[in-house]
Amino acid sequence: MYNAIIFDMDGTLFQTNTILEPSLIDTFDKLRDKGIWNGSTPLEKYQQIMGVTLPVVWETLLPDTTIEIREYANELFHERLIENIKLGKGALYPNVIKTLDTLKEIGIPMYIASNGLIKYLDAIVLYFGLKKWISETFSIQQINSLDKSDLVKMIIEKNGIKIGAVVGDRLSDIMAAKTNGLTAIGCHFDFAKEEELKEADIVIHNFDELRDFCVQYKR
């Protein structure tokens, strides 16, 4: 039986697409108003790179700009994301709560390891009441290397995890599991890529599959 499951947040527990487009549009509207950006909002480009660290996000979306402009854009974007979460415009994936209930009932501690910022993650956890199930939420901000494998290692060491799994939709989640000797459970959800999911030990298409797998594994 697993003595822990570590979840990614964006594209795994949380349907980031529900607030991504309006938040990004508002951000780039402000950048255009200030004469910082002239092109269209790079929504598709962001969707393609979901799961990478924030410095890489803004290097990709705002090439040939200064660090200061990228930091300003990131600040605007997160203000809009958090506002939209608080307004109830976000959503968890179907059957997430039912699955978390089951995992708690069978005694599996759960954690979140995300490339998201602390305030953003806190907004999601608070709005959906995830502390009822999740023991602790960890942000990439808590690790100097900005490497999810190192973040997962920190969770393992802090909580004495011996047998566990990382559940996520991108290669960074899969590699975080494998480099730390955990099971890699890939989520074939919105931002997932087929070539990345091939590296996972198990691939799920919905949370019912995860719940059933963990119940069977316990037996």
Residue 217's pLDDT band, with cuts at 50, 70 and 90, is low
Compute the average pLDDT of residues 57-81.
94
Residue 124's pLDDT band, with cuts at 50, 70 and 90, is very high
Q: Give the C-alpha separation, 34 to 105, whole Å.
A: 52
pTM here is: 0.93
Residue 212's pLDDT band, with cuts at 50, 70 and 90, is confident
55-61: which pairs have CB atoms within 8 A and are 24 or more residues apart? 55/146
**C-beta neighbour count of 72 within 10 angstroms:** 19
> In the chain, what is the straight-line distance between the N-terminal and C-terminal CA atoms, in Å?
8
Task: Provide the residue type at 200 as one letter.
Answer: A
Tens digit of each residue's pLDDT (9 = 90 or more) over 78-93: 999 999 999 999 999 9
Quickly list DSSP for the chain.
Answer: --SEEEE--BTTTB-THHHHHHHHHHHHHHHHHTTS--S---HHHHHHHTTS-HHHHHHHHSTTS-HHHHHHHHHHHHHHHHHHHHTT---BPTTHHHHHHHHHHTT--EEEEESS-HHHHHHHHHHHTGGGTEEEEEEGGGSTT--HHHHHHHHHHHHT-SSEEEEESSHHHHHHHHHTT-EEEEE-STT--HHHHTTSSEEESSHHHHHHHHHHHH-
**% of the chain residues with pLDDT over 90:** 86
Residue with more model confidence, 181 or 217 = 181
Q: Give the C-alpha separation, 187 to 1, whole Å.
A: 20
Residue 133's pLDDT band, with cuts at 50, 70 and 90, is very high
Tens digit of each residue's pLDDT (9 = 90 or more) over 162-205: 999 999 999 999 999 999 999 999 999 988 899 999 999 999 99
Q: Give the C-alpha separation, 10 to 159, whole Å.
A: 23
Residue 48's pLDDT band, with cuts at 50, 70 and 90, is confident
Task: Provide the residue type at 126 as one letter.
Answer: L
Compute the average pLDDT of residues 137-166.
96
Task: Provide the residue type at 110 as one letter.
Answer: M
Q: Which superfamily is assigned to 4-15+91-218 in CATH?
A: HAD superfamily/HAD-like (3.40.50.1000)
Residue 2's pLDDT band, with cuts at 50, 70 and 90, is confident
pLDDT higher than 60, residue 219: no
What is the overall mean pLDDT for the chain?
94
Domain ranges of the chain: 4-15+91-218, 17-86
Residue 164 pLDDT: 94
